[in-house]
Every structure is written in C-alpha cells, then in structure tokens.
A = this chain, B = another copy of it.
Amino acid sequence: MTKSQLYRIVFRTDTKPGRQFDIVLLWLILLSALAVIIESVPEIGNKHALLFHSVEWVMTILFTIEYVTRIWISPKPLKYIFSFWGLVDFLSIIPTYASLFFFSYHYFIIIRIFRLLRVFRILKLGRFNSESIFLIKALKSSMHKLSVFLMAVFAIVIIMGTIMYVAEGGEKGYTSIPQGIYWAIVTITTVGYGDMVPQTAIGKIISSVAMITGYAIIAVPTGIITVEMTKSNQKNKCLRCDKANDWNARYCNNCGHQFPE
C-alpha cells in the first residue's frame, strides 16, 4: 500500500476502507472512554484494577500507533501536529506514559475524555452529514443574535445577583456578589437547585421577578433559532451571486437572476 493510499484511508472518509477505518477508530474511542468512566467508580475500579490497567495500556499503544502513522503519512506533519485534532490525539496518549513517572494522574482523565470529541467525525459519515450541516448552519447564522441575547442575560444576572446580595444582607449563602450571580444563573435558567433560596420577604419578591423574567426570555433564543432554521430550510442558492433565497423564489432577491423552473 502506498503512502497516499494510506492517507486516504486514515484522513479521509470518501472511500469504503476510509469509512471502515473511521468506524473501527470510533468504537475504540468509545470503548476507551467507557473504560475511563467505569474505572472512576471506586467499587469497580479498585476491584478490577488490573483489567482496567490492561485496557488502558492496550488502547494507549493502539492510539500511539495511530498517532505515529498520522504523522508519518501526513504531507505536512507539523501542520497536523499543531492542529486541534493533532493536539487532542497527542494529549490523549501522553497521560498513560506520564503515569509511569508520576503517581497521581487524576487530572489527566479530562484530557482522555476529550478524545470523545473525535466521535463527532461520525457526522461526516453517511446520512447524518446533511443533518449536522443543517444544524451547524442554523446555529452559525443565529450566532450574532444569540450573543446579543447572552449579553443581555449576563447583564440581568449580574444586576439581579447584586440586588439579591444587598437584599439578603450577606447571609444564608448570599455572602458575596459572585454568590449572588451564581444564584441568579441558577434561577434565571430555571434549574433551581435549592442550595441557595431567598429567606426574606423582599428576597422572595425579587426572585419571583427573576423567575418570571427567566420564564419569558427563554422564548427569545427559541425564536431566534426557529427563525434561522426556517430560513435554512428554505434556502435556494443563486447560481450567479451565491446568495441564499427562499426555496420557492422565482428570481434571486440579491441580483435579480431568474431561477430555472
């Protein structure tokens, strides 16, 4: 097998072996993530320590082979190494080797779980492709409106948190403004843990206002995304100027180009 054939299999998904390679890789990633998750349960992790140890080393060696191969066959190895996926790949094998020299590698677990992001490569396979493009497009075109909305939410949350800190007089959990802001986020998003609840009458009135505010403004991002999805759903790209049009448009609304019936 030539290097360029291998490249097609490892880095691309437009051939059958390329897709098969990706599917095998995804199952390995899922398996290793599952091992990390289950190992963290003290009763299971301690009992079967050797088993999890073995799985981890097997996985690490397999992923190391994959990583080295990717560097070897890449036309521009440095570009791959410092790309997002290149870093994820490197960081997901290093913790196991590091554990030979250091005792606690507790914090490395996060890095290994990030390998799970690779699973999203499955979206490039088959029928999910157009669906995920649709969702990403709708989210991207909502981005500006959503960030204006999030800015407003942040301002509301900071002001509400400060008011609450003053109203509850620095007691019962509301010991600082950041604590008040944390409470405001818990309340506005309607999560409502109940670890911090207003005790005073004025505090209860303020939280009632915060709750109803949160209840009403949840409608805003929903509206934004629904409108963008409706738009993406009706897109009809103009061949002359590349601008999106209503799916049933007869003329491009940007350049006046007539669409073929």
Residues of chain A at the chain B interface (Cβ within 8 Å): 33, 36-38, 40-42, 106-107, 109-110, 113-114, 116-117, 119-120, 122-123, 127-128, 131-132, 134-135, 138-139, 144-153, 155, 158-159, 162-163, 165-166, 175-178, 181-182, 185-195, 197, 201, 204, 208, 211-212, 214-216, 218-231, 233, 242-246, 248-256, 258, 261
Contact = CB atoms under 8 A, between A and B. Distances in A.
A220 B225 contact: yes
A159 B109 CA distance: 10
Given A120-B151, A194-B194, 8 more contacts: A40-B165, A41-B176, A128-B144, A191-B214, A223-B229, A246-B253, A251-B255, A253-B253
Q: Which 3 A-B pairs have the closest CB atoms?
A: A249-B253, A191-B192, A251-B256
Nearest to A199: B195
Contact of A225 (B151, B223, B246, B249): B223
9 contacts: A107-B166, A132-B148, A153-B212, A185-B211, A192-B194, A193-B193, A219-B226, A242-B248, A256-B256
A253 B131 CA distance: 20
A229 B227 contact: yes
Contact of A40 (B139, B177, B228, B253): B177
Given A144-B127, A176-B41, A194-B193, A218 B215 contact: yes
